[in-house]
Structure 1
């Protein structure tokens, strides 16, 4: 050790956290030496607190803005001279961990992986992701230091976000499994879900020295596979409802779909290899069962009305032409 460094170690220090980053919750202050001399000064500014660790133990937690005088067993020159056998190094070390006392607000969060549960209406597993924001503040710096930080120099808003998200997944999964909200109703229960997750997460964070002052779920999203499966069901339901309007059964729905797809191809029905009259043939196929039944029971005005309604539905869907519609209509009316 040169004379200059030896002399610098004998000076009393003034320790303060001058450049406080708004994203840092906990910060170990680097000093020129850990052998802080007796009667050195510590400045704690508004919005800050400081944890004093002396001889490996938490000596004090200071939260009031003030200038504090430090008491140590290190005295200028005397302590150094008494430790010649230890290379003039004192065993009495003091370290300073500054922390933010103000609330950290509107920290954005989102689940890293989707949470799965059984959808009660569709009867298949769905995967849901959630995102929102939360606010947090340090409640017990000493507990936080001993249970969470250890040798960490800086603990940031990004670190607390990872901590909160890691504690959310399990209670979120349990909540959704218990409530099993239908796909269409999840958004209605975001407030209830937020309240439940805050209560469950608060207890865990308090054990680590934090207070969760606010927690919100802003939105939920379902994964692509879930949306695809539900989309297919919705399409089939719409087809079924449309078919019911013209009293078609499942076979009729399938034939309608096939002809509609063909009509949308380039070149229309002809481009799909369907000749003029394909619509009439479709109508014949749809009414085949009814015609067989009517052969044995006879045609009634009510039967004719139903068949005309079905035929009109094909025309409205543009699956048959006006000419085809008129031709088939005449055939139906001839049976009266």
Structure 2
């Protein structure tokens, strides 16, 4: 009976893996020197793939479900072992369970700053960090390229390499985008999507699919951030002269509240008051100089040489011509009006600029009584 139980224990009848560690990527089923019984049950749970390996060569891959092992559903292994039809004896093979779920919240970050050229600040050093997620999309490629013959494999085994891949791609992406440092926060989502697309091909080389990538923060060196804060403060303060006056007034108020006694305190107060008074005087005078409008005389354009001259001048100092408008008589009341006026300011009559001969069609002056070409009389 003991010998029977011994032989029975040599044959594996159920093959399955219950994942106890969420970061485990591959688990090798402990076959050791045992043999798998033909007709054994293979249980592959959701987010798992079972891979049979024969003498280091990947054979059949089983997706989630309950599988009964026969030669019919192991075509590659049957071919590799040259089994004949109806083979029913136990066999040896390595079984690997590959975890195909998403490995989320994987972190990336810059160990060294990224050198970039910026239009506002020149050369800057950029730091950043974020998270990404990935999963095994091709179990055969993953086992062939990374796993080897280990008994198990988890995310920490590949973490550093994937992080360096992401940083390399993002460094190139940031430099190509040419987005100003002040505007980077506006493009976190766009840069994250572009970074994921850029990483897909690199991850696929290891049988992975990068399912998400997020940029949580991009930061500049402390010196640059302080300069940005100062620039922001200047923009908030607005008019610096007004701010100086406010600061001087605050200083006078604080000095007036100083209750320290003694001649030394009095002298210090007088000295501080004089200094503050000078500062206020300078601030007020500077503000007045800045805000006082310049009283420049009005100017007009000379109609002859287009020079800028005073509006009260009667003759142009450049060309000497009169800049006063020529006076002509009104066609109706003979009052003097400016040449080119359309109506008379005295009688309101419309000013006729030309007379057209009804006989020959010639154009005559506004005061002509007879046509200069044919002599025909012109109507008023």
Asked if residue 243 in structure 1 is aligned to residue 240 in structure 2, the reply is yes
Q: Structure 1 residues 229 and 303 mapped into 2: Cα distance closer, same or farther (>3 Å)? A: closer
Distance 2:164 2:290 in 1: 66
Give the Cα separation in 1 of the matches to 2:36 and 2:18: 21
Q: Larger deviation: 276-285 or 188-197?
A: 276-285
Partner of 2:114: 115
8 Å CA contact 2:128–2:215 kept in 1: the answer is: no
Question: Residue 192 of structure 1 aligns with which residue?
Answer: 190
Preserved contact between residue 17 and residue 29 of structure 2 (Cα < 8 Å): yes
| Alpha-carbon shift at residue 172 of structure 1 (Å) | 1.1
Bigger relative CO (Cα 8 Å, ≥ 6 apart):
1
Q: What is the root-mean-square deviation in Å for CA atoms of aligned residues?
A: 4.2
Kept in 2, the 8 Å contact 1:121–1:182? The answer is yes
Name the SS of the counterpart of 1:39 in structure 2. Answer: strand
Q: TM-score, normalised by structure 2?
A: 0.56
Question: Which consecutive residues of structure 2, in runs of 5 or more, have no partner in the other structure?
Answer: 72-76, 82-90, 260-264, 294-380
Larger Rg: 2
Distance in 1 separating the partners of 2:232 and 2:124: 17
Q: Which residue of 1 aligns with 2:226?
A: 228
Contact 2:115/2:124, CA 8 A, preserved across alignment:
yes
- The residue aligned with 1:15 is 15
- State the Cα deviation string for residues 270-313 of structure 1 (Å, max 9, x = none): 7899622111232456689x7xxxxxxxxxxx749659xxxxxx
Structure whose residues are more often helix by fraction: 1
CA drift at 1:4: 11
Q: Which moved more, 1:271-280 or 1:215-224?
A: 271-280
Partner of 1:171: 169
Tell me, what secondary structure is at the counterpart of 1:124? strand
* Counterparts in 2 of 1:93 and 1:137: CA distance versus 1, 3 Å: same
* 1:44 positional shift: 1.9
Please report the TM-score for the alignment, with normalisation by the length of structure 1: 0.62
For structure 1, the 5+ residue unaligned runs are 74-91, 291-301, 308-336
What CA distance in whole angstroms lies between the structure 2 residues aligned with 1:26 and 1:145?
9
Match of 1:55 in 2: 55
Relative distance call for 1:160 and 1:68 in structure 2 (3 A) is farther
Alpha-carbon shift at residue 220 of structure 1 (Å): 3.1
